[in-house]
Amino acid sequence: MSTNLADYKNIWVFAEQRQGKIMGVALELIGEACKLAKDISDETEVCAVLVGDGIEDLAKECFEYGADKVYLLQHPLLKNFTTDAYAKVMTEAMEVYKPEIVLYGATHIGRDLAPRIAARSHTGLTADCTHLDVSVAKYIEFAKANTTLDTSTLDPESKDTGLKMTRPAFGGNLMATIVSPRTRPQMATVRPGVMSKREREAGRTGEVIKVDVKLSEADVRTKILNIVKEAKEMVSLTDADIICSGGRGLGGPEGFKLIQEFADKVGGVVGSSRACVDNGWIDHAHQVGQTGTTVKPKIYFACGISGAIQHLAGMQDSDIIVAINKDPDAPIFEVADYGIVGDLYKVIPQIMEAWDK
Amino acid sequence: MKVIVCAKQVPDTNEIKINPETGSLIRDGVPSILNPDDANALEEALKLKDMYPDTHITVVSMGPPQAQDMLFECLAMGADEAILLSDRAVGGSDTYATSNAISAVIDKYKKEFGDFDIIFGGRQAIDGDTAQVGPQIAEKQHLPQVTYVVDFKLSDDKKTVTVKRQLEDGYEEIEVKTPCMLTCTKELNQPRYMSMKGIFNKDKKITVWSAADCEVDLSVVGLKASPTNVYRSFTPRPKGKGVMVAGDTEAEIAANLIASFKEKHII
């Protein structure tokens, strides 16, 4: 590993596109790369890498969201994603232009492609990052605000600008910050939705570099027969990002009609307290709690749920808990990040209306 | 057919607790299990064996000697044999170094048993959740890969595989020639239980190889050869009691809630 680290410059974002549409996570990563570039040096540029066929027009979007340069890798064999073709052209472009950092969205495509490239380039890759830093001072700031980490061993004056990639491990029980100190580029996949896009700056432009792509059919060993779009299937409680749960406060089985509408609106699934299941208002499959399913969604809406211990045991590790209850003394408010005292039949329709605004 | 299944023994992360004083994982009493996605990988191989009884399934793993417990389970489910690479020299490997080590095991397998047709692996392991080792083994073995497999079919001549690869908003149908590497999801199948016959079958064996046994290049495995290192690790700050959402009307409360969600990038 005798890489000369100083030869590697600039931040690349794999600007993933599907059927000619840029994925939101790519624009988020361009926004994040702008922040990181500033902390590395004034000369560090943010480069979007567009891989596909007939996708020149997407460069404009990359510039307007903050890219300084766009590398265009185009070929008829790149029209749809294949591991072989994309890994080959990306790896070869990286060898020529030597980026210091390469970021990918942690999508089903990014998570397929990036490890293959990392192995071929003999460099490190950190999966599913939720936070990135280059500046040690900013890392200390982040750690102090969000974690229990003892930061006394870190030097805020440090000149180290290596990429510090923070990710959950052990099912979210632990966070780890990973570095790739000896190899370049430093690579990470980043979860969609955690970084912020910059405000779109209409008319902002930059340099487009057309990269010479060498590909033949023999390079691509998988054949795509079909790409099928499906409406999202009914997901199980354990996989749901958002759960809307109803409790005894619904007053009757018909209350779950509102909860279902609420769940449909926010892209969630319906959960329930044990009381409702015991009363026969809803099927046991929906029950959250010690005797039901243990859940850890991003958002848990507890609607008319008082918060019995057995229920709390099954949902208190949710990222964000919103409790809606008439009784201000309900124990659910002790674990809620957001508490709303009120009539759920009035509050929920308003949340549904505000959701799209 | 010859099929390789890559499997990992993992702590059941649902059972892990954190010591709030030290921020370290409490592993005592946490059961070790066959990684769930790897069970799906093995099941798909077993389904092939159901259809073509001459299919030979070898489960390959890397880990401490106790990982034999997990491999015993694989044999009792129906795999024919298992190989465990267990050596301190490969300890501390990141995904890159791990794939180098497992690839060396597969090279050794080829020398001893000849070419294989398919490698099945799990999509990802629940302790790291990286999903990187499968594609990295495929790269080291110069194999085409398909990840996130939710459906699998083998052609009658056993030379071509047609799979569905899961996407966020649907799936792709992909055709690939053997040999190839496929990583499997839980949607692919329902893993079978161990059978009584499997549990009491003493003929099947688990082979434990050292790094020297499978001629691993020691310069590409272990902690020192791993391009990624842990800089710091910590537990997320435990959350305290939250806020009551302010507002005079339900509409105002709802608007304030959503505004706060957006400010904190919750939605």
Domain of B84, CATH number, reads: 3.40.50.620
Residues B164, B250: one domain? no
Q: Do B168 and A182 touch (CB under 8 A)?
A: no
B125 and B252 co-located in one domain = no
The residue of chain B nearest to residue A114, with distances taken between CA atoms, is B132
Q: Work out the percent of chain B whose per-residue pLDDT is above 70.
A: 94
Q: At what angle do helices B133-140 and A110-121 cross, to 10 degrees?
A: 50
Query: Is the preceding peptide bond at A328 cis, omega within 30 degrees of 0?
Result: no
The per-residue pLDDT for B131 is 96
Residue of A nearest to B181 (CA): A222
**What digits encode the pLDDT tens for the residues B170-192?**
899 999 999 999 999 988 999 99
Q: Which residue has the tokens 């600039």?
A: A10
A339 closest CB neighbour out of B147, B171, B242: B242
The residue range of the domain holding A25 is 7-219
Using a CB–CB cutoff of 8 Å, tell me whether B217 touches chain A.
no
pLDDT above 70: residue B239 = no
Question: Residue A173 and residue B235: Cα distance in Å, rounded?
Answer: 7
- Can you give the CATH number for the domain in which A208 is found? 3.40.50.620
Instruction: Verify that A304 and A263 share a domain, yes or no.
Output: yes
Q: Is residue A227 part of a domain?
A: no
Query: Are A149 and A287 contained in the same domain?
Result: no
B 85-144 residues inside an 8 A Cβ radius of A: 94-96, 99, 126-136, 138-140, 144
Find the closest chain A residue to B131 by CA distance.
A111
Q: Are residues B169 and B259 in the same domain?
A: no
Q: Are residues B98 and B208 in the same domain?
A: yes
The domain total for chain B is 2
B95 contacts A224? CB cut-off 8 A: no
| B10 close to A (CB below 8 A) | no
Whether the complex's predicted ipTM is more than 0.95 is answered with no
Q: How many Cβ pairs within 8 Å bridge chains A and B? A: 241
Q: Which of B153, B180, B185 is nearest to B167 (CA)?
A: B185
Is A225 among the domain residues? no
pLDDT at residue number A233: 44
- Residue B57: its pLDDT value, please? 98
A121 in Cβ contact with A91 (< 8 Å): yes
Nearest-angstrom CA–CA distance, A309 and A61: 50
CB B90 within 8 A of CB B101: yes
Does the beta carbon of B194 lie under 8 angstroms from any beta carbon of chain A? no
Check whether B18 has a pLDDT greater than 90.
no
State which residues form the domain around B250. 237-267
Judge whether A286 lies within some domain: yes
pLDDT bucket at B137, cuts 50 / 70 / 90: very high
Residues B103 and B178 placed together within one structural domain of the fold:
yes
pLDDT, one tens digit per residue, over B182-231 is 999 988 999 999 999 999 988 899 999 999 999 999 999 999 999 999 99
Same domain membership, residue B190 and residue B62: yes
8 A C-beta contact, residue B103 and residue B116: no
User: Is A187 in contact with A114 (CB distance < 8 Å)?
Assistant: yes
Check CB contact under 8 Å for B244 and A174.
no
Contacts of B239 in chain A (CB under 8 A): 337
Neighbours of B96 (CB within 10 A): 28
* Cα distance between residue A351 and residue B263, in whole Å: 16
Q: Tell me the chain A residues in contact with residue B166 when contact means C-beta distances shorter than 8 Å.
A: 108
Task: Kindly state whether residues B215 and B125 are assigned to the same domain.
Answer: yes
If one counts the domains in chain A, the total is 2
Does B162 share its domain with B259?
Answer: no
Q: How far is A299 from chain B (nearest CA, A)?
A: 8
A43 and A133 both lie in a single domain: yes
Report which secondary-structure segment, H or E, holds A3.
Answer: none
Check residue A308 and give its pLDDT.
83
B16 and B125: one domain? yes
B233 in contact with A, Cβ within 8 Å: yes
CA dist., res. A21 & res. B228, Å (int): 33
Q: Residue A158 falls within a domain, yes or no?
A: yes
The answer to whether the CB atoms of B234 and A148 lie below 8 A apart is yes
A211 plus A141 within the same structural domain: yes
Angstrom CA distances, A306 to A249, A273, A337, stand at 8, 9, 15
Tell me the chain B residues in contact with residue A8 when contact means C-beta distances shorter than 8 Å: none
Low-confidence ranges of chain A (pLDDT < 50): 1, 232-234
B254: nearest CB among A111, A112, A353 = A353
Residue identified by tokens 């939250």 is B242
